[in-house]
């Protein structure tokens, strides 16, 4: 049971504010914002998602730079409230197409209308976009999608992939196409976030894939859908320890440690032929989340060397090698490395002919940054940096710098080899042939090489 719900901008302005029970004083938004902003005096630490001030519990989630907040005095389930906040953001996004401060401000009356139906007297009534459609009457005022940051993992498809219709993922579930016709289409996105830690000698210490099959349907008439996954997919690692890297990766079988499903998913034939059947509700939702610690081939190898090069000087060499096929291209790559605290200067040297690369030494937090627009599969890139120190270093340099961390996005590539074999839409008419988009992407969650 929650008492209030509000959305604050990054500057702390109220964009919407709804009080459901009148149990918490009106000034709660300011109290909350001050607390979040100045959590620790040094500003180093972030405020946790849930905290208590004078008997009031504040919950918040950050979505596209906005703070979605709920308050209550009751000892509720924190998962429930945080999940709810996330879901409210998703419902609003389903309606507005794009979730941003601008679109919220333009549509705040619609948002109030939604909020009134989602929660009554602090109790959740429904968060299903489908159900809400019959209660909600305001029509969204669509804002220009192109210049706004979209929400959710599917957002990455916005960048660079020309094959996708630009407005596809930013289309409101209730708005019609120009001409009043609705385009029949369905999106299935397989999004994998990978975490890898390499030891200083290049061994993989830990690796994990956190994947989601995300769906967004614009199909009319709620047809049933069948989604077939790899036939050799298996779930749960029998016996053995969870981390067992001796199992060969060449065997081809995809083994998930565990997974969970959206409530609309029926698993009647899952055990037999690995198909999921569901009637997709309107709006965006995860069909399945999965987790995998099976060994996989990391898309990048990182080599890093730091050595003294004379008095008060050192050299850093970072090599990144792309170990995926050459028809695949990773984009928006960023490499970071903390340098010794007494570094005063860093001069960089890129390979001859390097394009779309950017280097920087962040004086304030003593960090080296290397950005690459794209990396083609199979290629290798090197960065050399000459460091100048303000004091002599007594200790081992490798204890003063690193680790190297990396972020990237690789479209149309997934490391787990989990696949959607086919996507069947049950509708009789032979002329009915909606657009089906099945897209894959791999992103770095925590990709770290120790030195």
Neighbouring C-beta atoms of residue 392, cutoff 10 Å: 9
Options 101-109, 311-319, 355-363, 430-438: segment touching other proteins (CB under 8 A): 101-109
The DSSP call for residue 252 is: -
Give the helix/strand (H/E) hosting 84.
Answer: helix 78-96
Among left, alpha and beta (phi > 0; psi -120 to 50; other), residue 412 is: left
Options 59-67, 246-254, 375-383, 421-429: segment touching other proteins (CB under 8 A): 59-67
First to last CA, the chain: 49
Smallest gap from Cβ 436 to other proteins, in A, equals 21
* Rounded Cα gap, residues 352 and 369, in angstroms: 19
Options 56-64, 370-378, 419-427, 434-442: segment touching other proteins (CB under 8 A): 56-64
How many residues of this chain bind other proteins (CB under 8 A)?
99
The residue within the footprint of other proteins, chosen from 12, 130, 138, 185 (CB under 8 A), is 138
Smallest gap from Cβ 14 to other proteins, in A, equals 6
User: Site residues for other proteins, window 226-245 (CB under 8 A)?
Assistant: 236, 241-243
Q: Which is nearer to other proteins, 329 or 442 (CB)?
A: 442
Q: 401 vs 27, 39, 310, 384, CA distance in Å?
A: 45, 28, 17, 15
Judged by CB under 8 A, does residue 201 bind other proteins?
no
Q: Which is nearer to other proteins, 102 or 349 (CB)?
A: 102
Nearest to 28 by CA among 63, 66, 1, 60: 60
On the CB side of 154, CA atoms within 13 Å amount to: 28
Judged by CB under 8 A, does residue 266 bind other proteins?
no
Q: Which is nearer to other proteins, 83 or 315 (CB)?
A: 83
Judged by CB under 8 A, does residue 212 bind other proteins?
yes
Options 281-289, 318-326, 375-383, 427-435: segment touching other proteins (CB under 8 A): 281-289
Q: Which is nearer to other proteins, 165 or 356 (CB)?
A: 165
Judged by CB under 8 A, does residue 38 bind other proteins?
no
The residue within the footprint of other proteins, chosen from 12, 108, 245, 437 (CB under 8 A), is 108
Judged by CB under 8 A, does residue 332 bind other proteins?
no
Q: Which is nearer to other proteins, 299 or 329 (CB)?
A: 299
373 Cβ contact list (under 8 Å, min separation 6): 331, 332, 333, 355, 356, 357
- State the alpha helices, DSSP H only, in 97-211: 101-106, 108-118, 129-132
């Amino acid at each position: 049971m929650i008492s209030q719900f509000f959305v604050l901008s990054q500057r702390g302005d109220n964009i919407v504010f709804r009080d459901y029970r009148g149990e918490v004083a009106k000034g709660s938004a300011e109290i909350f914002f001050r607390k979040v902003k100045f959590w620790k005096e040094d500003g180093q630490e972030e405020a946790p998602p849930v905290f208590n001030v004078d008997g009031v519990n504040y919950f918040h989630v950050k979505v596209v730079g906005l703070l979605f907040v709920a308050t209550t005095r009751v000892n509720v389930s924190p998962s429930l409230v945080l999940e709810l906040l996330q879901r409210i953001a998703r419902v609003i996004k389903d309606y507005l197409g794009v979730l941003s401060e601008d679109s919220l401000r333009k549509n705040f009356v619609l948002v109030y209308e939604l909020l009134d139906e989602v929660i009554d007297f602090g109790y959740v009534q429904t968060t299903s976009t489908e159900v809400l459609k019959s209660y909600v009457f305001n029509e969204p005022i669509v804002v220009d999608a192109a210049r706004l940051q979209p929400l959710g993992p599917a957002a990455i498809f916005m960048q660079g992939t020309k094959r996708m219709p630009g407005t596809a993922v930013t289309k409101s579930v209730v708005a019609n196409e120009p001409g009043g016709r609705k385009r029949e289409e369905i999106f299935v996105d397989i999004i994998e976030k990978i975490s890898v830690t390499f030891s200083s000698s290049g061994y993989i210490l830990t690796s994990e894939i956190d994947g989601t099959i995300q769906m967004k349907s614009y199909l009319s008439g709620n047809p049933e859908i069948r989604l077939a996954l790899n036939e050799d997919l298996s779930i749960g690692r029998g016996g053995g320890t969870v981390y067992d890297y001796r199992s060969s990766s060449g065997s081809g079988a995809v083994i998930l440690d565990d997974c969970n499903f959206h409530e609309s998913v029926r698993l009647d034939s899952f055990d037999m032929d690995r198909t999921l059947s569901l009637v997709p509700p309107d709006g965006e939702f995860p069909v399945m989340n999965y987790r995998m610690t099976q060994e996989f081939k990391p898309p990048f190898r990182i080599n890093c060397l730091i050595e003294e090069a004379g008095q008060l000087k050192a050299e850093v060499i970072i090599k990144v090698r792309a170990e995926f096929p050459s028809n695949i291209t990773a984009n928006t790559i960023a490499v970071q490395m903390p340098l010794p605290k007494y570094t005063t200067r860093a001069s960089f040297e890129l390979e001859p002919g390097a394009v779309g690369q950017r280097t920087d030494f962040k004086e304030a937090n003593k960090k080296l940054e290397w950005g690459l627009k794209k990396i083609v599969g199979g290629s290798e890139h090197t960065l050399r940096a000459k460091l100048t120190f303000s004091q002599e270093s007594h200790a081992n340099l490798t204890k003063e710098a690193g680790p190297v961390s990396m972020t990237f996005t690789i479209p149309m590539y997934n490391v787990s080899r989990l696949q959607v074999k086919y996507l069947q839409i049950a509708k009789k008419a032979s002329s009915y042939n909606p657009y089906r988009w099945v897209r894959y992407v791999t992103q770095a969650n925590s990709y770290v090489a120790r030195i």
